[in-house]
Every structure is written in C-alpha cells, then in structure tokens.
Structure 1
C-alpha cells in the first residue's frame, strides 16, 4: 500500500513535469522584421530553438541552441547545410582560393550615445551611432526594456557568435569598408545596451527594423523539424560544391560557340543604305 502511494506520487510528479515541458515547448516568441530591400523575415524563437523564414518558404534556417548548430534547409536542392555556431580556428578550408589580402589600414571605431530615440513597437529606445574614423556608419535605436522579451536575447547572442567567429572570412570586405569593420567591432558593445529595433545606414536606408513582436504564441513542435531524407553537408562540403558548380559554368561558357556576327541595321523606309568602300 505504501509502495502504491509512492508510485502514485512519482507518477503525478512525472505527469506534471511532462505537462509543463510540453506547455513550454508549444509556445514561442515570434518576430517579424524587414531589411533595406523590403524583404520580410519571420523568426520563431523558443528557449532552445529558432526558425528563420524568408519570402521563399522552401528555404529556411533552424537554430539549435542545445546542439550549438544552425541548419540551413534548402527545399529546392533538397539538402541541409550544418553550421556550428562557433567556427573552428582554421577557416582556410572554408575559403581555399581566397587570395592573400593585405591588412586594412587602422580604423578608429566608436559607439556614441546620442540620447533618447523614437519609441518603437511600444518600447522606449536610446539612439546610438556607430562611427568609423569619426564618420557616422549607422544610427541604431535600442531598447533596454525589449531585452526582457522571452528567448530573444539568447537568439541574438547565438547569431552574433556565429558571425563573429567567422570574421576572418570578412577580411577582404573589411579592407574596402571601414564601416563594415566598425559594425563588426562595435556589435558586442551595442548588444549590451539592449535590443536593436531599428538600424539605418549612412545612406539613410533602413537595414533592419522589427515590425512586430508576439509572445506566448502557440506553435507546433514540428516547425523545427529538419527533413530526415535530405543529405547534410558541412560548410566545407557546401563551399566545395559551389566551387565545382562555378567551374562547370565557366567551362560551359568557354565551350559555347561564339555569337554570330552582328548584321548592319536596315535603313528606315525611304532611305538608302550606306555604301561601303571596298578594301584595297
């Protein structure tokens, strides 16, 4: 009898734990934002996973915080690329044909607070500028209060780590764009201020803006499923595949027959065609 009471108590505890776990797994924070091209992206975030959907439903990304990996799913080519959040120390395998790029000249970067910003989505913001050599690169509107939105900070931190650990691959871009270097340098400092709800570049273009934030949204756990019948490629394998495709295209271009010689245009009606003097 005593054993049955213990068993009943354990079963009840297990049931309540599973119930609360399922309840947690079924809710998420959903973000909608757009970039400078106007393309809208939807991001669904839970405590351990996130899904990023664009305007092309056949292509999406799954972020797994427990596995510390991101999976780029391509429904057109029916394949998945697996990307560790933190890249290894040797990135040469990801860009084997990258030419030697000289170091960029030193760039003085800064994060400058400009005061109170415009309210966005009901959140007060502070206005920060990122500068390179005392020239403004971007205007950013950051909300400290938005940092309390469930799961959002963990997602943004993981995405920042993913890009920051691959900075060496951006060396060529940094050499030509002091502002790109400044953005990368000051990204971490900006994130400590809160959530960037809107960012405008030095040409006045909106490069990022959150349009809607919903919390406690019911979701289906299958939203984060990765097709089991798709082959999974590493970053290096995907890079090699893209290089082979480019080489095939170049080979096809070289083997293509030359275009036919252009014919002289016919004169308008009522006019005589020009006469050409024969070569001696």
Structure 2
C-alpha cells in the first residue's frame, strides 16, 4: 500500500509512535457511550485504535490522497470517511444531531480555529481530546495570572475543564515539527449560561487581550467607539487590572458592566 506523503501546505506531521497513538485514542474513554469524530486522520495511526472502541467512529479528512489511503486500509469505515474541510462542516449533521467526542492529531496552523468551532458547537461536543502544539495546549490550560493565559484560555475555560495530559517530543513524527506537542482533554463543565451576553463576552475578552499590557481602563476604550460612558465607570479596582489577572467569573462581571453602558447599541449592532 502506497504511503501518503506529508503535505506542508496542510500542516501534516504524521505520528509514527504507536504507543502514543494508543494513549491519545484512550483519552476518549472518559466520555463513553457516544460517537467519535476524528479530525485529520492522515494514514490512520490514531484511527486504528479508535476503531477498537465499542462505539461509532467517523473521520474527516481534507487531503484526497489520505482519503483514498483510508478507504483502502480501513474498508470497515466505508461511508464514515468524510472527505471535507472540518472548519466548513455543519457538525449537527455528522451524527444526526447526536453528541460526539472530537479528537485528532490536529494540524498546528488551524488548531485554534478548530477549538473556536468546538466552542460554537459546545452543546454537541461534551468532550474534546487530541494533540496540538505544546504552546497552544499550555495556553488553553493556563490559569489567571500566568503569561500564557489569554483569549483561548478564557473562552475555552468558560465552558470546559481543560487538562494538559502529557508532552510529546518532535522525533515521533514524519516529518518532525520544529516544536514540541502536547495531548489535552477538555470536558464540558456544568455551565449552561454564562450570566452575560455570550457574544459580548467574546468581544470583551478579545478586545482587552489585544492590548494585554494595558490596564482595563485603557484596553476597554475601543469597545465604546469614542462614546461617553457613565461618570465613574473607569474608576475602581477592577479597571486597574490587566486582562491576564481576570478569572472567567470576573470577565463575566466586566461584560455585564460594559453591557450596562452599550446595551442598546450592542443589541442594534448584533442585528
């Protein structure tokens, strides 16, 4: 069977260590009894172990050469090999509206986009596992007050408990990446309502982290577009803090404060 050549433009780094592949596959066991969707299976090093699980498995692959290889190597998968771009898919159609576990050896260059799509479909995805660039994994799992804490940390931790499981060295890939990788697991927490407008929450988080060195009294100003705010709005201890110091709960508090100033304008903008 002809091997698939890794393609640089797709960010393909094929895992060659079977023990690590099995360990990644086993991370889905923490969310049993629902199907699994693997993103970017390549030549199926992870897929082979997922298929041993007593559950339905589908894979989505954008590379036509890899799709042909998977059909030949795993005839059991048949129509469960989806030749598509994960970022453009309607995830509600994959398992007929049922919840599923998302997993994979994710391409580094689109891993953040994959997780933003996960957040957009959080009610469908109670658990997400897989391997990404170590720096991104550290960012997602980091706590307030740390250098790595940022936009992805806050937006993910608002809805998921994030676990950094283990580090993977460069030498177990073909071709080897220039950075280390890490395996993570994200499990939906008990939050069903943030207690604020979710779209405005995202906007607040992104706005202040875009100027993360500034205190909130400075980094928040672009949200108001030069419009006046209530006297004393920028006073108080919270406004002297920088974004990396705020927990998810404090970002919710901040979002509600901002909504109190631009509520009508924000609602009109969303329409």
Report which of the two has the higher share of strand: 1
TM-score by length of 1: 0.25
Report which of the two has the higher share of helix: 2
TM-score by length of 2: 0.26
Higher relative contact order (CA 8 A, sep 6+): 1
Larger-gyration structure (1/2): 1
